A and B are shown apart, each in its own frame.
Chain A
Amino acid sequence: MYNFEFEKPETVADAVAALGAEDAQALGGGQTLIPTLKQRLASPSTLVSLKNIAEMQGVCKGDDGSICIGGATNHATVAAEAGDYPALAETAAHIGDPAVRNRGTIGGSLANNDPSACYPAAALASGATIVTNSREIAADDYFQGMFTTALEEGEIVTEVRFPVPEKANYQKFVQPASRFALVGVFVAKYSDGVRVAITGASNDGVFRWAEAEAALSANFAPEALDGLSLSGDDMISDLHGTGAYRAHLCGVMTKRAVAAAA
């Protein structure tokens, strides 16, 4: 690792100020960023830890019944405390391993937008609102491709608001070496329709499967997906699986998620 200065502000305002320094970078739980730094793939001048900002910690319930999660809340806490949205708590409970879940944060995961991460699928399928230090961003506008989001330089995810669906489930086909999702599908049924978000598969990162959403909105049952398929042409192909295999898994995992949620 190249060396850097370390700061741990206690308020969002102080963090934003610290991130104004040239080449400063925010540090959530570090479960992706620290390995990245070890490989010298990044060389920030200053790391600004968000872990000591009390206002970015914890899970609460919003006035409209939504679940609000502070950006610096770790996965273990979401797993334990987001019981009002069981599919979300269950998703958090299967990210990485127990020690990783004690450090990694929801804000860090969403800011990184790894194409195989779990939280982007949960946020997109839930139509979540990504709250930052300066604005609120709808999930549909937030995810902009692999490792790319709507966040501006120095902008911090302070909270994520999830509307609670009537039914939901996340199914992850685990890549056995990394334990990331080879393909993960989050299905959420709201009163105004079904949303399906897929991670791990596309070269463009997390995406919604519109045809499956339409079919499931008409009939929320696994057989509603019969005959639907995605093209593997623009999907990730690597030694763990071809694009065609991932496209196939999208259908299988969506069916499983619907069966588990229904």
Chain B
Amino acid sequence: MTQVNMTVNGKAASGDVEGRTLLSSFLRDQLKLTGTHVGCDTSQCGACVVHVDGVAVKSCTMLAAEADGAEVATIEGQANPDGSLNVIQQAFQDHHGLQCGFCTPGMVMSTAALLKDNPKPTETEVRAYLEGNICRCTGYHNIVKAIMAASGQDAGAIAAE
């Protein structure tokens, strides 16, 4: 076991991990931050996306030891300081961008990463960016709408397919 120290959602976090401990396991099992979901565990589905040093990564395909010293952001840190939903979360609610909600933490974290780099993405860019986030309920349509709305664009312009 080795000790890892990182900053998670702005707070210092540490724990003893094995070499093989995944970042997703460390967040969920040791820090009890179970908002980060593990869907496929094969780096396909994106439910486990978190930010490490400001970029989106699949936490099921990164070792906790690799995140030693890093700044980690998870879905638990996304709400506004007063506890209300942030712009992206609110847009997902307003546009029914979720049904079962399992993929949503990853969707929100991927969206946050996208909008940081590209504040006004086109619909095509949104769909391309979500290539690694799988939703089995919505058909993506309302997710794309939510992201367009969260970026201050006209979600109504997204035609039904």
Which A residues have a C-beta under 8 Å from some C-beta of B?
A: 1-6, 8, 27, 30-31, 34-35, 37-38, 46-47, 49, 51, 76, 96-100, 102-103, 179
Contacts and interface: CB of A to CB of B under 8 A. Distances in A.
A47 B63 CA distance: 11
B62 A34 contact: yes
B132 A6 contact: no
Contacts of B110: 98-99
B19 A99 contact: no
B143 interface: no
A3 B62 contact: no
Given A49-B66, A96-B132, A103-B62, A1 B20 contact: yes
Contacts, number: 74
A5 B61 CA distance: 17
Contacts of A6: 2, 19, 63, 65-66
Interface in B49-65: 49, 55-58, 61-63, 65
A100 B58 contact: yes
B41 A99 contact: no
B29 interface: no
B18 interface: yes
Nearest to B68: A8
B131 interface: yes
Given A6-B63, A35-B43, A103-B61, A97 B132 contact: yes
Contact of B55 (A46, A49, A96, A102): A102
Nearest to B65: A6
Which 7 pairs across A and B sit closest by C-beta, in order of nearness? A97-B132, A6-B19, A1-B20, A6-B65, A97-B131, A102-B55, A4-B19
A76 B56 CA distance: 11
B63 A179 contact: no
Contacts of A1: 20
